[in-house]
Amino acid sequence: MSEAEGEQARGPRSAVRHVVVAADQVGQRLDKLLGQLLPGVPRSRIFRLIRRGEVRVNGRRAGPELRLAAGDALRLPPVRDSLIAADAPPRMPKALMEAVERAIIHEDARLLVLDKPAGLAVHGGSGLSFGVIEALRASRPSETLELAHRLDRDTSGCLIVARRGSALRVLHALMRDGAVQKSYLTLLAGRWNLGHKRVDAPLRTDLRVGGERTVKVDARGKEARTEFKLIEHFGSAASLVEALLHTGRTHQIRVHAAHCGHPVLGDTKYGDPARNEEFAALGLKRMFLHAHTLGFAWPDGSEQSFSAPLPAELRALLDRLGTPRGARRARAAQGSS
């Protein structure tokens, strides 16, 4: 067998990937993060890739013990599909790929923008085989796709995926500089009487309750700022509010809303269980948090603005709350607790 035939027999290589370290990956060892980014590749192979200099961090060689910082640029070398075949995740469901493709609301040479459905994780992990990014990569195998940011699994709305390493680096720089405007719509428990309020409360994100990561307001935490603007009251039972993010901490809106005494309705982690149960009876089957708009400007000055409409099930709940009968049911639920 010739060398070329041997190469073919061992299977095709994956594409070179360029990844920028995100906030939730900061502090991880290089070898550990590579284990996540190259699922199924044996650790011995990962160490060999690092040792040979095929993995680069900010264009330079690095040791496996290197602790990564936000914005570090990683180059991941091609890896033969045959290396990971035995440990590869289950086959991607075609229905999931089609659903994610249908969720795309904008596409250009540099990025994709999706209206992510609630209940779909942005990436696999924590018991999930697949998320948005895995489905997109399966649907578009010739492209190099990376998440520019994240949304909680139960949050719907605008999500950006970079199609080029250069676009990813620019987007992360804009986010670090606070130059990306993110607006969310959320329904909060109770009557919001705080007006136009800016919450500046640091968040600590390394705490775990019952084995799950959780977040709380803590003076030792990282800077976090959220701006809340009232849109509409629904009696004393609930308030529709716009939340503007000035920082991008994990669970930021949810924790800040609860800190103000008005948790997000349907939030099973930081919310009020009694209120959630009452609104479930009114038809709320998910967390009422939606990434409504997102905007920024590329370095060349071209403005980008994207919007995802409120999902039908959330609009339907607001319609019910806005009717006399719905208002009476909401008041009755609020008064019974």
Choose the weakest-confidence range: 191-195, 237-241, 315-319, 326-330: 326-330
Task: Evaluate if residue 297 carries a pLDDT over 80.
Answer: yes
Q: What is the predicted pLDDT for the residue at 98?
A: 93
Is the torsion defined by CA of 318, 324, 327, 333 positive or negative?
negative
**pTM here?**
0.73
Choose the weakest-confidence range: 78-92, 166-180, 278-292: 78-92
Mind listing the pLDDT tens digit for each residue in 11-70? Answer: 455 678 888 888 778 888 898 888 888 877 887 788 889 989 999 999 999 998 899 988
Q: What is the predicted pLDDT for the residue at 324?
A: 54
Q: What is the predicted pLDDT for the residue at 81?
A: 47
What is the rounded average pLDDT for all residues in the chain? 86
Q: Closest by alpha carbon to 33, among 125, 129, 164, 154?
A: 125
Mean pLDDT, residues 277-293 taken together: 96
Q: What is the predicted pLDDT for the residue at 42?
A: 81
Work out the percent of the chain whose per-residue pLDDT is above 90.
61
- List the catalytic residue out of 31, 72, 115, 152: 152
Q: What is the predicted pLDDT for the residue at 13?
A: 54
Q: What is the predicted pLDDT for the residue at 123?
A: 83
Annotation says 319 is catalytic: no
Domains and CATH numbers, the chain: 12-83 (3.10.290.10), 94-166 (3.30.2350.10), 179-336 (3.30.2350.10)
Burial class (CB in 10 A: 0-12, 13-18, 19+), 149: buried
Residue 301: C-alpha distances to residues 27, 304, 307 (Å): 33, 9, 20
Q: What is the predicted pLDDT for the residue at 19?
A: 87
Mind listing the pLDDT tens digit for each residue in 247-271? Answer: 989 999 999 999 999 999 999 999 9
